[in-house]
Amino acid sequence: MDIPGCEILEKIGEGACGEVWKARQLSLDRVVAIKVLKPVLADDPDQVQRFLSGARAAAKLKHPNLVQIFDVAKDEGGCHFIMEYVHGRTLREVIRSKGKLPEKTALSIALGIAEALRDAWKGAHLSHGNLNTANVMIDEDGGVKVMDMGLASKADPVPLISSDKDSSFEGSPHYKPPEQVKGFIELDARSDMYSLGAMLYHMVTGVAPFEGETTMAVLMKHINGELPHPRDVRPGLSHGIAMLMSLLMMKQREQRPDHWSEVIRDIKKVKVSRILVHPQVPHGASTIAPSAVASRRKRRSSKCPAWAHVLAWLVVLACWAAFTYYWLNR
């Protein structure tokens, strides 16, 4: 592969739509990353237009938590864009190595993602559309960098659950919002909120949202399934973070927060252990199931304890004895 002005060093990643290479940009003597559209997609004018327009839109964004795009080009060799190289690991790799993250760490990562996506939506009306743990980088200082912004900002024209898409599915099925799975709906910021909630669930429980034998099986569960309550999976989690995930993963996007500013406010509240005040989530409205442990405790607490029954009978007997004594000695 030959990219004008760059010395290719090594291949560092590959996704459904392209390959990522580490390279040296000769004019500035700096290390960069280059994403190249796969040849099979480069022959499709619609895919090329989507790739280039998304990269150009993302290149206009400036935020410390977004991977900066330096250049976008189409030539005889195909389509590519040159972007900032991040020294670090993907969030997927971090979760695999640690199993589950401390609650405060996971909230800090979620906050960084939310702040980046807020600016992208506010500044360019741009949603991510394929937010997952593989396209979020954690740099050597613990900073958050969101990649591939804008490359999948609209839903596919057909439902993702179509059986013929199983082999060519783009991204991870574990974080897809129900409306994207169903298709025919343009995505917006609220769709990314669902994906962020699913990523937060994965970070703190160490369990990917839903598993299945096929991609389609996992996707269908976002429509019809429920995830175990996070406090049932990891009892030490706070009520606040569980409520946050429930709100972000509402099945109907109209029931999710309206703006990223609301999400950011709630994340900050949970980080400092403040209570989230929201209407009760109706059963079945969220992908997060009600807590089985809390329900058992509530049922137990609602039952009158045995000692209370004994005390009640003693009071009745005392009253009967007093009445009898009074009646016999009047």
pLDDT tens digits, one per residue of 46-100? 888 888 888 898 899 999 999 999 999 987 768 999 999 999 999 999 999 999 9
Measured between alpha carbons, how far is 259 from 117 in angstroms, rounded to an integer?
11
Phi, psi of 224 (to 5 degrees): -110, -15
Handedness of CA 139, 57, 122, 184 (dihedral sign): negative
What CATH number did the domain enclosing 186 receive? 1.10.510.10
What is the per-residue burial (b if ≥16 Cβ within 10 Å, else e) of 98-129? eebbebebbbbbbbbbbbbbbbbbeeeebbbb
85 in Cβ contact with 123 (< 8 Å): no
In this predicted structure, the answer to whether residue 254 has a pLDDT above a threshold of 50 is yes
Task: Choose the catalytic residue: 10, 76, 140, 213.
Answer: 140
Is 176's pLDDT higher than 80? yes
User: How far is C-alpha 244 from the chain's CA centre?
Assistant: 11
**Residue-level pLDDT at 302:** 52
pLDDT confidence bin for 113, thresholds 50/70/90: very high
Q: Domain total for the chain?
A: 2
Contact 88, 137 (CB under 8 A): yes
159 and 80 together in one domain:
no
Q: Cα angle at 110 between 152 and 278, to 5 degrees?
A: 105
140 is catalytic: yes
Tokens representing 217 are: 């099986």
Higher pLDDT, 283 or 206: 206
Give the burial class of 269: count Cβ atoms within 10 A of its Cβ; 0-12 exposed, 13-18 middle, 19 or more buried: middle
Least confident of 90-94, 145-149, 210-214, 324-328: 324-328
Mean local confidence (pLDDT), 97-123? 96
The residues, ordered by sequence, that sit 6+ positions from 261 with a Cβ below 8 Å of its Cβ are: 118
302 inside domain: no
Look at residue 298 and tell me whether its pLDDT is greater than 70.
no
* Residue 170 binned pLDDT confidence (cut-offs 50, 70, 90): low
Q: Residue 311 — pLDDT band, cuts 50, 70, 90?
A: confident
Which domain CATH number covers 62?
3.30.200.20
C-alpha dihedral over 175, 181, 183, 189, to 10 degrees? Answer: -30
Please state, in angstroms and rounded to a whole number, the distance separating the CA atoms of residues 85 and 316.
79
Cα–Cα distance for residue pair 47/303, rounded to 1 Å: 61
* Residue 326 belongs to a domain: no
Between CA 149 and CA 35 the distance in angstroms is 13
More confident residue, 71 or 278: 71
Residues spanned by the domain of 93: 88-295
pLDDT value of residue 167? 45
CA distance 165 to 220: 13
Q: Taking residues 264-290, what's their average pLDDT? A: 90
Same domain, 141 and 31: no
Considering only CA atoms, which of 136, 190, 154, 137 is closest in space to residue 54?
154
69-75/30-37 β-pairing: unpaired
Asked if 283 and 214 sit in the same domain, the reply is yes
Q: Are residues 142 and 236 in the same domain?
A: yes
Same domain, 132 and 73: no
Query: Mean of the per-residue pLDDT values for the chain?
Result: 87
Query: Of all residues in the chain, what percent carry a pLDDT higher than 70?
Result: 86
Show the CA angle centred on residue 209, arms to residues 206 and 213, nearest 5°. Answer: 110
DSSP-derived letter for residue 176 is -
Whether residue 96 is found in the same domain as residue 43? no
Chain-centroid distance, C-alpha 59: 23
User: pLDDT band for position 163 (50/70/90)?
Assistant: very low
Name which of 112-121, 175-184, 275-284, 320-329 the model is least confident about: 320-329
The three-point CA angle 114-133-136 to 5° equals 55
Residue 100: its pLDDT value, please?
95
